[in-house]
Amino acid sequence: MAREIKFSLMYRDMWQSSGKYTARVDQLKKIAPVIIDMGCFDRVETNGGAFEQVNLMFGENPNRAVREWTAPFNKVGIQTHMLERGLNALRMNPVPLDVRELMYKVKKKQGTDISRSFCGLNDHRNLKGSVIGAKKGGMISQVALSITNSPVHTVEYYMGVVDKVVEYGCDEICLKDMAGIGRPVFLGRLTKAIKDKYPKLPIEYHGHTGPGFCTASVLEVARAGADYIDVGMEPLSWGKMHPDVITIQAMLKDAGFLVKDINMDAYMEARRLTQSFIDDFLGYFINPENYKCSSLLIGCGLPGGMMGSMMADLKGIQGAINASQRAQDKKELSLNELMIRLFDEVAYVWPRVGYPPLVTPFSQYVKNTALMNVMHMLKGEPRWSTIDKDTMNMIIGRSGKLPGELAPEIVKIVKDKGLEFYTGNPQDAYPDELPKFIEMMKKEGWDRGQDDEELFEFAMHERQYRDYKSGTAKKRFEQELEAAKEKAHAPIVVERPVVEMPKFDIDAIVAKYPNALPVQATVKGTLVWEYDVVDDSKAPNIGTEYKMGDVVCRLQTYYGLEEVKSPMSGKIVAVCAHQGDKVEKGEILAFVDVLK
């Protein structure tokens, strides 16, 4: 008898792999019955990842969104699942264990059945709390292996992680091929190894289609014993997103598997509704490049969703690099030439910092280090001149155990800086915090909410929750949406290059200070030289000294304030942007030179 393979629709991830936001709760409630009518899904990914933060950014209550979005699926027996980042839970930085444990209880009460938990380093210690917490909260614990392609990421390596999380009590395994660079045959071998040892352990495959391997990978894991396949649907499938359910269903049916039929009338209606959400407002925040596949992603191994940010980074430094090239009587470099250099440098950096799987946030750490290396080397300076604090914490083990060995040159840098390697459990460095947040809610006069869901949201996303409660988030989102609409409907004009602004002369600064490094906007936003100050008098004066990693300024973004830190220890030699300026990611705000 043919073996059945079931499908999970990645409706939340479809949006966030293509753009900034996900659909509002009123839109989600509208499409839920249509997804059910399609008749082909046993699971739907409803929340997790940045879903809660996105709702806070809208100025809406994320707890209401989760409850109302999951309810229709709960009613008909379609399982709902969420994504969480192990030690980081639903945010980008580590979360105390008591807050993590409350998350599983809250999400189960809200209607989420399965917790998909991953650690960017595949450190089983970071996953232990997820497995135990999910089970205590009454959820199905699914552990996701962060898939990448390197000499150390072997079947045996991944089986070591599987053995530990099975020991902790996990119920399922997911192969999280977040960049889509897992080689199909390898993924088949890994699936078979898991099934041979744990035949009753369900396996789900999650892959993105950016580099082009994904459809072949689906067939290989299916033949090796996978039980569930994650899929998308048009108009948000393929590209940097997920394979479309129609193609995957037809392929697996032809291969002899038992798969559910698709109600095509419902599919077309779901497609129409999704397009209507794009037309309503979400399309203003979708990068057209995310609809495209690119084989260049195979070489660098970075997630496809990072392509847009990488190009913004390169645009940001292109002016400064070419000014330095001219000063050295060298050929200027095009964006494509810089991109290839960056990809090559990622390939150099990645093994030397221990092969961290290139998934958030470690993909950003590796890319940022490679970017700084490229910049330094083009100026005739040594590699590794700048390693930011977050990357260094990864290197010394504060995020977990790296899969590979550090290169001797990296070990020497750590010792030269007087740092020590951390071998303890990463969770131990983050003590419980719920009592603190309970007390703060009492002082604010805020209700902890049904099943403590408001307490959880406050403890998980304090800054965004405060903006939501004050109304600041809603106002900010409405302003951002209006600006996006105006830009979309404005006449096409030639935009100024991001870094060649009339307010300063890059060539002159680089010529005068050849060793200076730019302080660059880390995200798009409004420049704030000092919090809550609106005049230029609070911009750093020429000569102001900073240590590497010190906060130079902040950027007001759609989700709150982002810190911009000094790339080196030194003094300000040029200030290149005014208080309140709207700046693009990568734009130069100031220059820092070495102290003399």
Q: Does residue 33 belong to any structural domain of this protein?
A: yes
Residue 454 has pLDDT above 90, yes or no: yes
Quote the tokens at residue 359.
């998934």
Among the listed ranges 55-59, 490-494, 554-558, which one has the minimum average pLDDT value? Answer: 490-494
The domain boundary residue, chosen from 428, 454, 485? 428
Total domains, the chain: 3
The mean per-residue pLDDT over the stretch 322-328 comes to 84
pLDDT at res. 142: 98
CATH of the domain at 524: 2.40.50.100
Residue 296 has pLDDT above 80, yes or no: no
Residue 501 has pLDDT above 60, yes or no: no
82 with 191, same domain: the answer is yes
Contacts of 21 (CB under 8 A, 6+ apart): 15, 54, 57, 58, 281, 282, 285
pLDDT at res. 404: 94
13 with 100, same domain: the answer is yes
pLDDT at res. 360: 77
The domain boundary residue, chosen from 396, 413, 428? 428
312 with 415, same domain: the answer is yes
Residue 316 has pLDDT above 90, yes or no: no
416 with 528, same domain: the answer is no
Query: With 0-12 CB in 10 A as exposed, 13-18 as middle and 19+ as buried, what is 541?
Result: exposed
pLDDT tens profile 214-256: 999 999 999 999 999 999 999 999 998 999 999 999 999 999 9
Phi, psi torsion values for 576, nearest 5 degrees = -120, 10
Residue 35 has pLDDT above 80, yes or no: yes
Query: With 0-12 CB in 10 A as exposed, 13-18 as middle and 19+ as buried, what is 214?
Result: buried
Q: Do the Cβ atoms of 367 and 310 come closer than 8 Å?
A: yes
Residue 301 has pLDDT above 70, yes or no: yes
Residue 533 has pLDDT above 50, yes or no: no
User: At 149, which amino acid appears?
Assistant: N
The mean per-residue pLDDT over the stretch 33-60 comes to 95
Q: Does residue 473 belong to any structural domain of this protein?
A: no
pLDDT tens profile 363-382: 888 988 998 899 889 888 89
112 with 231, same domain: the answer is yes
Quote the tokens at residue 400.
């977990």
Confidence of residue 493 (pLDDT cuts 50, 70, 90): very low
The mean per-residue pLDDT over the stretch 289-303 comes to 78
pLDDT at res. 513: 86
Q: Does residue 316 belong to any structural domain of this protein?
A: yes
Residue 546 has pLDDT above 60, yes or no: yes
Q: Do the Cβ atoms of 4 and 259 come closer than 8 Å?
A: yes
Quote the tokens at residue 262.
């698709």
pLDDT tens profile 250-274: 999 999 999 999 999 999 999 999 9
Using only C-alpha atoms, the chain has a radius of gyration, in whole angstroms, of 24
CATH of the domain at 209: 3.20.20.70
pLDDT at res. 305: 55
Tell me whether strands 582-583 and 525-528 are parallel, antiparallel or unpaired: antiparallel
Average pLDDT score over the chain: 90
Residue with tokens 């869901």: 453
pLDDT at res. 535: 53
Q: Does residue 497 belong to any structural domain of this protein?
A: no
Among the listed ranges 388-392, 494-498, 509-513, which one has the minimum average pLDDT value? Answer: 494-498
Q: Does residue 443 belong to any structural domain of this protein?
A: no
Q: How far apart are alpha carbons 356 and 393 in whole angstroms?
A: 13
The domain boundary residue, chosen from 411, 428, 445? 428
Assess whether the previous peptide bond of 235 is cis (omega < 30° from 0). Answer: yes
Residue 536 has pLDDT above 80, yes or no: no
Q: Does residue 433 belong to any structural domain of this protein?
A: no
518 with 579, same domain: the answer is yes
Share of the chain above pLDDT 70, in %: 94
Q: Does residue 441 belong to any structural domain of this protein?
A: no
Q: How far apart are alpha carbons 230 and 45 in whole angstroms?
A: 9
128 with 16, same domain: the answer is yes
Q: Do the Cβ atoms of 87 and 126 come closer than 8 Å?
A: yes
Residue 527 has pLDDT above 90, yes or no: no
pLDDT at res. 578: 83
**DSSP labels for 90-137?**
TSSS---HHHHHHHHHHHHHHT--EEEEE-TT--HHHHHHHHHHHHHT
270 with 318, same domain: the answer is no
pLDDT tens profile 393-434: 999 999 999 999 999 999 999 999 999 999 999 999 899 999
Confidence of residue 310 (pLDDT cuts 50, 70, 90): low
pLDDT at res. 495: 43
User: At 196, which amino acid appears?
Assistant: D
The mean per-residue pLDDT over the stretch 480-492 comes to 80
84 with 215, same domain: the answer is yes
122 with 39, same domain: the answer is yes
For residues 252 and 505, which has the higher predicted lDDT (pLDDT)? Answer: 252
Residue 67 has pLDDT above 70, yes or no: yes
Share of the chain above pLDDT 90, in %: 65
Q: Does residue 541 belong to any structural domain of this protein?
A: yes
190 with 333, same domain: the answer is no
361 with 269, same domain: the answer is no
pLDDT at res. 308: 53
The mean per-residue pLDDT over the stretch 551-559 comes to 79
Among the listed ranges 88-97, 122-131, 232-241, 480-489, which one has the minimum average pLDDT value? Answer: 480-489
Structural domain containing residue 525: 506-593
Query: With 0-12 CB in 10 A as exposed, 13-18 as middle and 19+ as buried, what is 459?
Result: buried
